[in-house]
Chains A and B, each alone.
Chain A
Amino acid sequence: MLRASSLTTQTEVDLNAVNGDLSAAAIGLEYGPELVEFAEAVASGDKDKLNQSRQTLLDHAGAETLVDSAGVAANFQRMVRIADSMGIPVDDMETELGKSVRSELNLTRFASAANTLNA
């Protein structure tokens, strides 16, 4: 969806940001590095990192951005667990956009890829 949104807005982004590359996150995305670090802290459950990244995001982007970012991170903490606990496969493995993103990010390294590749 990041690629789809960047194509819609004709904004250059570097998908390596998804794998935690902070310099990549700075390309085309306002507060990209701060958002990546906050997302990582939420998903990893690291309290110290979370306290630090929350304050950094607040200082740079403001309270409304912090709250909306917390909502999105919380939402996807839910979505990944729905997908994996129910074992759902990717709906369409044949779209060119999906193929290129999966290849670029090497997503088949994840164990849950089996829910799609072995379906």
Chain B
Amino acid sequence: MTFFDYNDSPYPIREDIKKEHRDFWQRLAQAGSWWTAAERIAIAQESRNASSCEFCEERKAALSPYTLEGNHHSSTPLSATAIDAVHRIVADQTRITQAWVESLPDNDLSIESYVELAGIVVCVFSIDEFHRSLGFELELLPDPTAGEPSRYRPAQAESGTGFVPMLPKEGLTGPEENLWPGGRSANVLRALSLVPAALRDWLALCSAQYLSVEGMANMVKQDDRSINRMQMELIAARVSAINECFY
């Protein structure tokens, strides 16, 4: 089966978008750093379940998201902690706190697993949002392949910024030597770097849905885009404002 062929699309979809969506789906179907392929696809399914979860709606309306108890709309064998993490990231991300993240290991979800889970959720969610925004059906999730997680944790990860350990802005060595595009970093790049593969996933999607990191230096207009940079940033800023994102 060919994913993301967009043959039924009434609009022309750029080839780089097709490719990056397809490539991510292929990576989604493989074992990651901390989750098996089947678990990664279950995380993807939960990110879809969160969009129609009544408990998420109820909790989002509550004064505090940490006092209400209930059951999420769920259809996977993931642990309750993992399901809750997926649903919070999709539906109520502004109220995630450091204390909650730090409590995850006590509930059998390691910080490394949380970072990879978040990486899967945000990539699947953004692909789904692209489909929803154009009125398309969501793509079928892929079948999982065999294999075990690599359990790779970069040695240079350090705490001190944000809720999770991250790689430093400077001095990366070994497999991460060239992780920062163009050698420059920022906290948004560092955010998922405890799982370098998760960072590479979002960078690849970003280059097609928005701009590559190198392309972001062009403040006027990228030749293969139909909207100029100001128009892009207007959309970006309005989406961020509605999501109440300070960053």
Report which A residues bind B (CB closer than 8 A). Answer: 1-2, 4-6, 8-9, 11, 13, 17-20, 25, 28-32, 35-36, 38-45, 50-51, 54, 58, 62-91, 105, 107-108, 110-113, 115-116, 119
- What 1/0 flags go to B11-30 for Cβ under 8 Å of A? 11110010000000000000
Whether B232 contacts A80 by the Cβ 8 Å rule is no
Is B236 among interface residues, defined by CB-CB distance under 8 A? yes
Whether B13 contacts A1 by the Cβ 8 Å rule is no
What are the residues of chain A within 8 A of B241 when measuring CB–CB? 18-20, 105
B122, B187, B237: the one contacting A1 at CB < 8 Å is B237
Smallest CB gap from B238: residue in A? A39
Is B190 among interface residues, defined by CB-CB distance under 8 A? yes
Interface of A is mostly: helix
What are the residues of chain A within 8 A of B133 when measuring CB–CB? 38, 41-42, 50, 54, 70, 73-74
Is B179 among interface residues, defined by CB-CB distance under 8 A? no
Whether B94 contacts A28 by the Cβ 8 Å rule is no
Q: Which of B1-47 contact A (CB under 8 A)?
A: 10-14, 17
Looking at the assembled complex, report how far the CB atom of A83 sits from the nearest CB atom of chain B, in whole angstroms: 4
CA distance A30 to B191 in the complex (A): 34
What are the residues of chain B within 8 A of A69 when measuring CB–CB? 227, 231, 235
Is B121 among interface residues, defined by CB-CB distance under 8 A? yes
CA distance A103 to B240 in the complex (A): 16
CA distance A79 to B121 in the complex (A): 11
Whether A73 contacts B163 by the Cβ 8 Å rule is no
CA distance A32 to B227 in the complex (A): 11
Is B167 among interface residues, defined by CB-CB distance under 8 A? no
Looking at the assembled complex, report how far the CB atom of A76 sits from the nearest CB atom of chain B, in whole angstroms: 4
CA distance A85 to B89 in the complex (A): 6
B130, B186, B192, B243: the one contacting A86 at CB < 8 Å is B192
What are the residues of chain B within 8 A of A86 when measuring CB–CB? 115, 118, 162-164, 166, 191-192
Q: Which of B123-161 contact A (CB under 8 A)?
A: 123, 125-127, 129-130, 132-135, 161
What are the residues of chain A within 8 A of B180 when measuring CB–CB? none
CA distance A11 to B233 in the complex (A): 14
Given contacts A2-B230, A71-B130, A111-B95, contact A76 B239 (CB under 8 A): yes
B10, B12, B93: the one contacting A85 at CB < 8 Å is B93
Looking at the assembled complex, report how far the CB atom of B140 sits from the nearest CB atom of chain A, in whole angstroms: 18
A/B interface sample: 8 pairs, CB < 8 A: A29-B230, A36-B235, A65-B227, A72-B239, A80-B240, A84-B93, A87-B97, A90-B187
Is B229 among interface residues, defined by CB-CB distance under 8 A? yes
Given contacts A76-B236, A81-B125, A90-B247, contact A6 B162 (CB under 8 A): no
Whether A29 contacts B231 by the Cβ 8 Å rule is yes
- What 1/0 flags go to B206-240 for Cβ under 8 Å of A? 10111000000001100001111111111111111
Whether B190 contacts A88 by the Cβ 8 Å rule is yes
CA distance A115 to B14 in the complex (A): 36
A64, A108, A111: the one contacting B226 at CB < 8 Å is A64
CA distance A88 to B129 in the complex (A): 23
Given contacts A18-B234, A73-B133, contact A90 B246 (CB under 8 A): yes
What are the residues of chain A within 8 A of B244 when measuring CB–CB? 110-112
